[in-house]
Structure 1
């Protein structure tokens, strides 16, 4: 993992806002949407999911404003953040959080939700362009395939998920097909790398990201009423989740770090998929939601506390504006 040299932090608010705040925000959005689905499938109180989504939307707005101030002070700081793994993971999670914010807003403010969605697409496209530029200009090891590639490139599947309720069906279809091909390529490259080399302990939590595409493709397939395909992805998600649970001590051997944010969204998205399908997946979905309801807020609280104390930027080597 490449690191840019540390530099003094000049006076001014939000000059070193760490992108690493966004993976847990993404996970909290996923948790709120899972509770929204549970209120439909299990007839649980809808107020729980809506309260979570309302609170997270406010948190997201504040965090996005803090990062926007940093970018306005020195736009080149974005490329510096994307030159390191925590910055790439956080920057991608910011893009995906914008999509989920539009889903959260849709039942209440559909016009604003559509505007947020379009802004998210534009920002995500810019993010990918800058990421590719950083890859091309950086050292070869920076171009090594990691699970974060799912967030950066396959992450457009979250746009497809948001596009369905926002009535951009054709866009959702295109994104579904393109991102599925990308996901297969990244899964394949990752399996080949895992066969040849071991994963350093501090980076192992990122392997949980491999669960996200399976859950998200299943959710989008269910939205298109492709039930057999959605069931297949539900089974794939179950297989990946079981493997992660079996290896959980190995995954967490390095102890807590901001990379644990990678555990949050995949579990919440899997709960959403299983609850959406119902039937034989209802009980696993409820169990996954219970697990996410315990795990996601705990990890989010620890990461956000690091941010509030001014430690998160140092730990993740965030760039300075």
Structure 2
């Protein structure tokens, strides 16, 4: 029986990397999910340079998705990641190695929130996602990355496309972390389904009733669930996610405010500016200027 999906974890010998790559080429699984561990949480090198070289040569070109923490990406690309430009270049460098998609985790750059970045070789721009890590936890939450990659592989094996699997796996891992929900059962499942629907439809729908209808529940019941789990109303969760996405566009892309407004379903630039300022306290242009100023000061 040929495996449809294979997950590869930490490998510490170059000859082992070569053997694994040979077997993968021989058996040709539909998807290969690779979660390399190059640097420990104590910033110790776990992978010798010859192993890194073999990974780049023989393994990365076979991968459907490569998950990397920022420190690992810095070592593999041999480039420091301190700015948005560094981040974009690191993603491009990883994709240039031949893998089909990349999930770069825990990049704390231009905004006040940690950010994960997903990109594919076919996309012109990356997708930004709120990090699963909390402040100060990047690289320290033992096993989180391995659990995430295993969950992604499971969802892919169940028929999900790669990005869909990433979203579903992130929601699953978030449910396992006590500080996110603390509740299991139907309420936790409904909450995760709700957040998944937001990732799929936030560009076109911000109405709570739309999401309640998608989940086959009343808006009132959805509100009871979200308040029980997060203390927030559904509308607040939708708006926070949308605001975070817009922040990433302002921080990491050259798009004009008007282009961002239309891309996220706003009637006009003024409509976006009013929405953004009500939540963020700054107009989009002011937020972008503050980001640029912070970069210059660094």
TM-score (norm 2): 0.32
> Which one scores higher on RCO, CA 8 angstroms, separation ≥ 6?
1
- More strand as a share of residues: 2
Work out which of the two has the higher radius of gyration on C-alpha atoms and give 1 or 2.
2
TM-score (norm 1): 0.30
